[in-house]
Amino acid sequence: MLFNSYEFIFIFLPIVLFGFFTLTHFKSPVLSIGWLVADSLFFYGY
């Protein structure tokens, strides 16, 4: 998956951003950082 691919822009990025801002708003900041780390590992592995 590349940063300029449609898969990244229209599927991966909106899911990651929605999850991050939802966790930041409702839960602790530690969970939102964990969410970003997990998504980063998924992106790297994909």
Residue 3 has pLDDT above 90, yes or no: no
Give the C-alpha separation, 9 to 24, whole Å. 21
Chain CA centroid to CA 11, Å: 10
Distances (CA, A) of 13 to 17, 42: 6, 12
- Mean pLDDT, range 11-32, rounded to an integer: 91
> pTM of the prediction?
0.82
Residue 27 has pLDDT above 80, yes or no: no
Confidence of residue 39 (pLDDT cuts 50, 70, 90): very high
Q: Are 35 and 23 within 8 A, CB to CB?
A: yes
Find all residues with CB under 8 Å of 2, minimum gap 6, and list them. 8
Confidence of residue 46 (pLDDT cuts 50, 70, 90): confident
